[in-house]
Structure formats: structure tokens, C-alpha cells
Amino acid sequence: MARLPRSGIIGAGFIGEVHARAVRAAGGVVAAVAERDGKQATPAAARLLAQRAAASAQDLIEADDVDVVHICTPNHLHVPLAERAIAAGKHVICEKPLATDVASGRALARLAASAPLVTAVPFVYRFYPTVRDARGRVRRGDAGPLRLLHGSYLQDWLSRPEDHNWRLDAALGGGSRAFGDIGVHWCDVVEFASGHRITRLVACLTTVPRTTGRPASDTEDAATVLFETDQGAIGSVVVSQVSPGRKNRLWFSLDGTQSSLQFDQELPDSLWVGGREQNTVVPRGAESSTGDAAPFNIIPVGHPQGYLDCFTAFVADVYAATAGDEPDGLPTFDDGLRAAVVTDAVLTSAAHGGWVEVPAESQPPTPAE
Ligand code: SOE
């Protein structure tokens, strides 16, 4: 019998726990867990049901019992840890943002392209069956050419002046916070489902006053972005971590000449399909769903699927890729670089005003000479 894939997780916060659950559900083993403070690794390994605690991140990266390294640390450590994991010949799942600047994201994507390894970024909203169904309907031509792509990604967990988190510190989180943390999810899933690429944008950012006694945040709490795409559509997105009552509301609408397709991450088990004659709420797994959605329906319709199922499907596809498969829509380090490029355009536009071109840098980068 083939050996189970063995994952090692660096960083055991909220998202590290999500990775651990997904590893087990995808048929893998959590072989080891590393924490920045080595003393925390033992309780963290117990909490994540791992086989052992690693003495350090480097110990985990070099360990013979780890095939896939999961990087779930604060953002500033993503690039150096991913570089070290690739150098050690390990497959890598690196949390977003892959890089906090374009130059290091590009260098990392090139390094990944030059290695016979699977290198993936968990843009997991791609793995909702209803998102795949929207993508299938666009590809089948049901919606007609898309004219307008719009929506928002709203959270409230930083809305109080006293709220604090490491993400507020640009040295740890990077120069963009709300957009770099969640705006990139919205852009990724909308580009994925629509097949369009954002080519130009203009952005406004805002930062709310904080009263934590800590240094004021110098990164944005919210962003508004207007954009144009390579296929002639226009669009807009509002991104916020300070919108009371909005917990994790990633919402988008793809409006074509024939129909509009609307997805809501907080109600992900159905896709809204709008038309001139009638509007339809299509349940996940309905007979009219496209074949794109079918592989992601793991339980019969009526039994809600959610975020953890998306994460599991993503990790399962990473494992399949390590075995030589080429899963459709697996988000790679090139997609992580794409997110860094879009984020950079947002920051540039907000700093200098006006429209900014977004380079089409998401094709596989040319390996370095
Ligand atoms: C916090 O904003 C966060 O956990 C993001 O980092 C995740 O990517 C998103 O899925 C949920 O919110």
C-alpha cells in the first residue's frame, strides 16, 4: 500500500489548525509541528494531533518524516521559509500573501518553477462547488460575455479601536493589510471563476484610529478598488476588516449579457443565477450544475458543505499533484505572485492617485537564467 502523505506544519495558530484538520481529512498524516517558540511546539503538536513536535522550523523542513511543508506563520516569514523548504527538496503549501513585495514573490515563484516540487497557495475559495459551478457556467457560455465583475470581502474582527493583532504591524504583515490578507482572496476567486484578468485599477485606502496604546497601524483597514479587465469588463470591490456584523463575507457577482452569477461565502451551498425572465437559487449539486462542480460535491445536496471542506479538497489536490496528477485549478506560487502584483498596484494607486497598469504577471514565470 502507498505510504500516506506526511505533512509538517510551521505555525499552529488558527490557520495552522485548519491545515491540520484538512491534512487528516485529505488522508494525510500530521507528522510534525513547529512553533517559533520551541517550548510551544509540544502543546501545539498535541492540539493539532501531530505525531511529534519539531525542535524548530529548520528541523521540520529537513526532517525525513515530512514530505509537504505547510507555512502558516506571520507573513514576513513566508518567503524565507518557502525558500528553505524548496532547497530541502520539500513540497510546499505557503499561506497567503506568498510574499509581501513583488520582487521576492517573483524570485520565489522562479525558484519554485525550477524545482520538481508542488508549490501551492491556499486560495481555497476556489474549491467551493458553487464557485466551480459559476466557473463552469461562464466557460459553457451560459452567462454570455461578462461585462461587470463586482462585490466585496468584509470582516469585522478589527473594527473596535482596541482590537489588535500581529497583522497590524507592517514589519510582520507587510505594507498592505486588509487587501493583502483578504482582498487577494477576492481577486483570486473572481479571476478564477470569470477567466478575466484585472489589467488596470484605481484604489483608495482608509485606516481607522486605534487606541491600544501600541503604535498606530500604518496599514489599511479598508480599500475600494475600481478596475478593468483584459476582456473588456469593468468592476469594483470593497475590502474591509472594520465592517461591524460582517464576519467573513466574501461576495461576488459576475454579470454577463445573458445572466448574472452571484456567490456568497457565508451562504456557499447555493449559487444565485439571475436572468431577465427569472432568478434561480441553484443548490449545490442540483441536476443543472455543471460538471466542473461535481468532483467537489462530497456529500449529497441538503447536507451543507463549507470552508473546511474547501481546505480539504485543496490539500487533497496538493497530495494528488505530488503523486503526478495535474488537478484543475490548483492555486500555485504563480497565483501567489499574481496576488503580490495586484496588491502592489493597489498600494501604488492609493499612494500616487490615479489609474495603475497591472502587469499580466501570472503566466508561469521564465525560470532564471
Ligand atoms: C483573517 O482575516 C483570515 O483568517 C484570513 O487570513 C483568511 O485568509 C480568510 O480566509 C479568513 O480570514
Indicate which CATH number applies to the domain containing 226.
3.30.360.10
181 lines ligand 1 (CB under 6 A): yes
CATH of the domain at 119: 3.40.50.720
pLDDT value of residue 4: 86
pLDDT value of residue 367: 32
SS3 of 272, please? strand
pLDDT value of residue 365: 37
| 324 C-beta neighbours (distance < 10 Å), count | 7
368 pLDDT exceeds 70? no
Q: Where do we find the cell 501600541?
A: 214
Give residue 185 CA to ligand 1 midpoint distance, Å: 9
Same domain, 120 and 153: no
Residue to probe by mutation, ligand 1, list 78, 181, 187, 247, most atoms within 8 Å of CB: 181
Nearest-CA residue for ligand 1 atom 9 is: 182
Same domain, 102 and 134: no
Same domain, 59 and 90: yes
pLDDT band at residue 213 under the 50/70/90 scheme: low
pLDDT value of residue 212: 64
pLDDT value of residue 3: 81
Same domain, 112 and 155: no
Same domain, 138 and 279: yes
Higher pLDDT, 75 or 367: 75
Among residues 124, 72, 117, 69, the alpha carbon closest in space to that of 98 is found at 72
Same domain, 63 and 198: no
Give residue 325 CA to ligand 1 midpoint distance, Å: 28
Mean pLDDT score across all residues of the chain? 94
240 lines ligand 1 (CB under 6 A): no
pLDDT in tens, 307-347: 999 999 999 999 999 999 999 999 999 999 999 999 999 99
Same domain, 153 and 261: yes
For the chain, what is the domain count? 2
pLDDT value of residue 5: 93
168 close to 217: Cβ distance less than 8 angstroms: yes
Give residue 258 CA to ligand 1 midpoint distance, Å: 33
75 lines ligand 1 (CB under 6 A): no
What average pLDDT does range 104-126 have in this prediction? 98
What average pLDDT does range 179-198 have in this prediction? 98
Same domain, 133 and 215: yes
Same domain, 66 and 190: no
68 domain residue, yes or no: yes
Helical packing angle, 102-113 and 78-87, nearest 10°: 20
Give residue 368 CA to ligand 1 midpoint distance, Å: 32
Instruction: Please give the share of the chain, as a percent, with pLDDT higher than 70.
Output: 96
- Alpha-carbon span 154 to 183, nearest angstrom: 9
Q: What is the pTM of this model?
A: 0.95
Same domain, 76 and 165: no
344 domain residue, yes or no: yes
Same domain, 263 and 180: yes
SS3 of 142, please? coil
249 close to 136: Cβ distance less than 8 angstroms: no
360 domain residue, yes or no: no
DSSP assigned state of 180: I
Among residues 150, 178, 121, 184, the alpha carbon closest in space to that of 339 is found at 184
138 pLDDT exceeds 80? yes
Question: Where does a domain end: 124, 140, 172?
Answer: 124
pLDDT in tens, 48-62: 999 999 999 999 999
13 pLDDT exceeds 70? yes
Same domain, 215 and 226: yes
Nearest-CA residue for ligand 1 atom 1 is: 181
Residue ranges making up the domain that contains 65: 6-124
364 pLDDT exceeds 60? no
Question: Where does a domain end: 108, 124, 140?
Answer: 124
369 domain residue, yes or no: no
